[in-house]
Chain A
Amino acid sequence: MKKILWWSIVVLIVAAMISAFSLSACKAAVEEAVEEVAEEVEEVAEEVEEAVTDGIFPDWDALADEEITIIINEWGDAEAPGMNAWWEETAQLYMDMHPNVIVEPLEIPIEDIQQAWMAAVAAGDPPSIQLMGRQEGIDAATAGDILPIEDFWTEDEVNHILPSARRELGWGGKLWLVPEYMDPWHMIYNKKIFTEAGLDPEAPPETWAEFMEMGDAIVAAGYIPMSNGWLDGYMSPWWMCLVALQSLDDPSDIHQATLGEQSFADPKHADWWNILVEATDKGFFNEDQASLDFISGIDLFSTGEVAMVMVVQPMVRQYVDILGEDVVGVMKTPMPDIQGDLAGTVPIPAMPLALAANADYPEVAADVLRFIHTADRVNALYAHSTAMQANDLFDPTLVTDPRDQLIAQWFLEAPGYCYNWHYTPQIEAVGYTLGGLIVTGEITAEEAGQMMDDAAEKWRDDNPEMVEIFRDIAEEWAMQ
């Protein structure tokens, strides 16, 4: 018994010594391993930092045997005639440079483009690049469906994007979306009608008060001062972007109203609706404005019966071609009675393209976006469509049309923002109806503001998680 006990103790001691030695060795090994891993992590972090600064480019050697297809969902010529031709040329040039890549721009109607994206994402087969608005981009980023372009582009490439576009297409400290083209938003007028009405054809109204004064003369001459189309609702956001924004100091006002910190019924948010009331009462709009969709309403300008209409800059050329070089003039949207710091600015939303997170080869898709923002492509965009790019590589000497020169001068001097990129789709859905309700006399301007407040409140109640994300982005905007 004693022997057994003795040997047990010896075995235990030896085992303890071996264990202690092993543990020490392990500890050293572990420490060494940890140190090695830390070094590796540091190296990778440095590489990532370099990559981010230097951009992420496709490894064409590794991709040489791959067949790569880049699908781009965009809306073609819908706003800028000539975009299809530019996309076709751009795609071909890129494919010539990279024969194993197929670039396929896919034209989708405006009213279907968001649905097409959502269906594709749900099916797990998104396009590589998608045209979407700022708020849709924020939603998609929150859902993890898109990637920030700044993760792929170099700092230099990002900085070529115009500052106002970078501000509207970025959040969380990064540029997320890439401009497809820029959409300066303004009005055009018929100089011939002005002349016949006894008005100065080189002096369009600068305020809505002046518009009302001119309206009687235009009606007396047998013309319609301005045309709209409210049926499908898109006209309301246009008026908000072009008129309502001018009563505000900054899009932060819209953010705060969305969050309930201001009220859409406040005069600075709602007073401008009275322009619609007054102009409708005086017969300064087309009689059928409530039953025309917004494109048809705008298109009445081409009949030569309408004196003024809202447009985006790429649309101007078609009206010049129809009515004549000497007939069509460009004008800033008149200013409302209540004028904030944004009065007199020209909204220049840059139609955004997003990089899909779950498409194949996002680095190649980012490279395609990089390619469309090279100097050659930026300037070819104008040549094909007269749409200007929100990129300082754009050569302004290419702009020979005096109308486009004036527009470029406006947005370089006083770039504005896109009103309807700064609230939520639910508020916009209510906004769609307000113009039609006002011109048909169903609601007042104050009631219009109240309806937007109600929509904002319901959005906040129904989407508490999105409210926090919206608040963070709004605070980031306010600090810039």
Chain B
Amino acid sequence: MGVKINQIKTFKRKKRFNIEAGFYVGPALIMIVVVFIYPVIEVFRESFLDIRKWPGTFIGLRNYKIVFTDRMFYLSLLHNIELLLIIPIIIFIALIVAVIMHEKIFGEKFYRSVIFIPYIVPLVAIGIAFSFFFQFRGGFNQILDLFGLDFLISDWLGNIRLALPVVAAAIVWRELGFAIILFVARLGSVSEDTVEASLIDGAGWWARFWRIYIPELTNVIEFYVIISIITMLSQIFGFIFVITNGGPANATWVSELYIYKQAFQFNHMGAAAVTAVVLMVITITLVFVSNRLRRRLGEGNE
């Protein structure tokens, strides 16, 4: 009887504690549901509707058929995949710069501030600056001419093969700062004893880079890869819209622009919803694959 009473009291304490915890967690949970989960469910629901007239009528998989038979959908995805290729470039450059800055160059604090500035400049401003700089009569061609490289002068934004690389350059310019700061912050916790020992052993800069710094930065690099995948798939609309608006001749259409055009130019909310669902599935899949690879590599190292 005494044991039972104690158990009841314990249960009641635990129950009180859980309800109490719920009050603390609840508001955040509500926000997460409202801001993140509800929109996902709603977009998924709308992908099965014809919403020309609100609130829409159920049409089954017809929106999926429309999107999956649209050449522009695949072209847009292809451009997103091409932009994924700049992730290794950003990481490589950021690693080099971060290690140099970590090893205490003159003016290192100044460089830290300057390098991060592009990341906080409004995206629209970057887009406008790049669009002017890379026009045929823009600054870039003038610099090429100044240095006697006029054979390289081109209509960068008017060439369907060069326009996307120009947009990629704008993305790299903006994202590099964040990656460098991220790596520099992690390098700050690398043991100085290890570095000194390597110096004593005669390790050169590249040896330290590959054998000490890269292994130490593995977790951060993996984190940055995941962030970058999400960025290249679903956070570059601003660059595209401002610099090229999908031109020239569809050469810079990406999935977000496709969603935008479907929703607001063609009044086809259902098709826009389908594309959003597909983009979400692709993003989740890539992140999942990335995590699995990371774990397998980690297990292999052990």
A291-B249 in contact (CB<8A): no
The contact sample of 14 A-B pairs, CB cut-off 8 A, is A111-B245, A114-B265, A139-B267, A144-B53, A230-B248, A231-B245, A291-B158, A291-B159, A292-B135, A425-B265, A429-B261, A458-B70, A461-B69, A462-B66
Residues of A within 8 A of B70 (CB): 458
B158-A231 in contact (CB<8A): yes
Residue A121 lies at the interface, judged by CB distance under 8 Å to chain B? yes
Given A231-B158, A440-B158, A458-B70: A433 and B249 interface contact (C-beta under 8 Å): yes
Given A114-B265, A288-B135, A291-B155: A231 and B244 interface contact (C-beta under 8 Å): yes
Residue A278 lies at the interface, judged by CB distance under 8 Å to chain B? no
What is the number of contacts between chain A and chain B, taking CB atoms within 8 Å? 90
Q: Whole-angstrom distance from the CB of B79 to the nearest CB of chain A?
A: 14
B159-A458 in contact (CB<8A): no
Residue A157 lies at the interface, judged by CB distance under 8 Å to chain B? no
Give CA–CA (A127, B152) in the complex, Å: 51
Q: Whole-angstrom distance from the CB of B70 to the nearest CB of chain A?
A: 7
Give CA–CA (A144, B55) in the complex, Å: 12
B54-A440 in contact (CB<8A): no
Given A426-B266, A436-B248: A230 and B158 interface contact (C-beta under 8 Å): yes
Residue B15 lies at the interface, judged by CB distance under 8 Å to chain A? no
Residues of B within 8 A of A142 (CB): 52-53
Given A144-B53, A291-B155: A425 and B266 interface contact (C-beta under 8 Å): yes
Please give me the residue from chain B that is nearest to A291 by CB atom: B158
Please encode chain B, from 196 to 216, with 1 for each CB lying within 8 Å of some chain A CB and 0 for all others: 000000000000000000000
Residue A368 lies at the interface, judged by CB distance under 8 Å to chain B? no
A440-B159 in contact (CB<8A): yes
Q: Whole-angstrom distance from the CB of A399 to the nearest CB of chain B?
A: 36
Among A143, A426, A433, which residue has its beta carbon within 8 angstroms of that of B52?
A: A143
Residue B250 lies at the interface, judged by CB distance under 8 Å to chain A? yes
Q: Whole-angstrom distance from the CB of B160 to the nearest CB of chain A?
A: 6
Give CA–CA (A269, B70) in the complex, Å: 24
Residue B136 lies at the interface, judged by CB distance under 8 Å to chain A? yes
A436-B155 in contact (CB<8A): no
Residue B238 lies at the interface, judged by CB distance under 8 Å to chain A? no
Give CA–CA (A231, B53) in the complex, Å: 33
Q: Whole-angstrom distance from the CB of A72 to the nearest CB of chain B?
A: 20
Give CA–CA (A103, B54) in the complex, Å: 27
Give CA–CA (A421, B66) in the complex, Å: 24
Given A142-B52, A291-B136: A440 and B244 interface contact (C-beta under 8 Å): no
Give CA–CA (A118, B134) in the complex, Å: 34
Residue B247 lies at the interface, judged by CB distance under 8 Å to chain A? yes
Residue A287 lies at the interface, judged by CB distance under 8 Å to chain B? yes
Give CA–CA (A231, B247) in the complex, Å: 5
Q: Whole-angstrom distance from the CB of B31 to the nearest CB of chain A?
A: 21
Which residues of B243-277 have CB atoms within 8 Å of chain A's CB atoms? 244-250, 261, 263-267
Give CA–CA (A41, B135) in the complex, Å: 68
B52-A291 in contact (CB<8A): no
Q: Whole-angstrom distance from the CB of A416 to the nearest CB of chain B?
A: 25
Residues of A within 8 A of B159 (CB): 290-291, 440
Residue B156 lies at the interface, judged by CB distance under 8 Å to chain A? yes
Residues of B within 8 A of A65 (CB): none
A287-B247 in contact (CB<8A): no
Residue A442 lies at the interface, judged by CB distance under 8 Å to chain B? yes
Residue B137 lies at the interface, judged by CB distance under 8 Å to chain A? yes
Which residues of A332-387 have CB atoms within 8 Å of chain B's CB atoms? none
Q: Which 5 A-B pairs have the closest CB atoms?
A: A290-B158, A288-B136, A291-B158, A291-B157, A115-B264
Please encode chain A, from 426 to 440, with 1 for each CB lying within 8 Å of some chain B CB and 0 for all others: 100100011011001
Given A232-B245, A290-B159, A442-B160: A433 and B250 interface contact (C-beta under 8 Å): yes
Give CA–CA (A124, B66) in the complex, Å: 27
Known: A142-B53, A429-B261. 16 other contacts (CB 8 A): A143-B53, A230-B248, A231-B157, A231-B158, A231-B247, A290-B159, A291-B135, A291-B157, A291-B158, A291-B159, A293-B245, A429-B265, A429-B266, A433-B250, A434-B249, A436-B158
Best-surrounded residue of B53, B246, B249, B264 (most CB of chain A within 10 A):
B249
Which residues of A52-68 have CB atoms within 8 Å of chain B's CB atoms? none
Q: Whole-angstrom distance from the CB of A304 to the nearest CB of chain B?
A: 15
Residues of A within 8 A of B134 (CB): 291
Q: Whole-angstrom distance from the CB of A440 to the nearest CB of chain B?
A: 6
Please encode chain B, from 125 to 148, with 1 for each CB lying within 8 Å of some chain A CB and 0 for all others: 000000000111100000000000
Q: Whole-angstrom distance from the CB of B129 to the nearest CB of chain A?
A: 15
Which residues of A197-235 have CB atoms within 8 Å of chain B's CB atoms? 230-233
Give CA–CA (A288, B163) in the complex, Å: 13
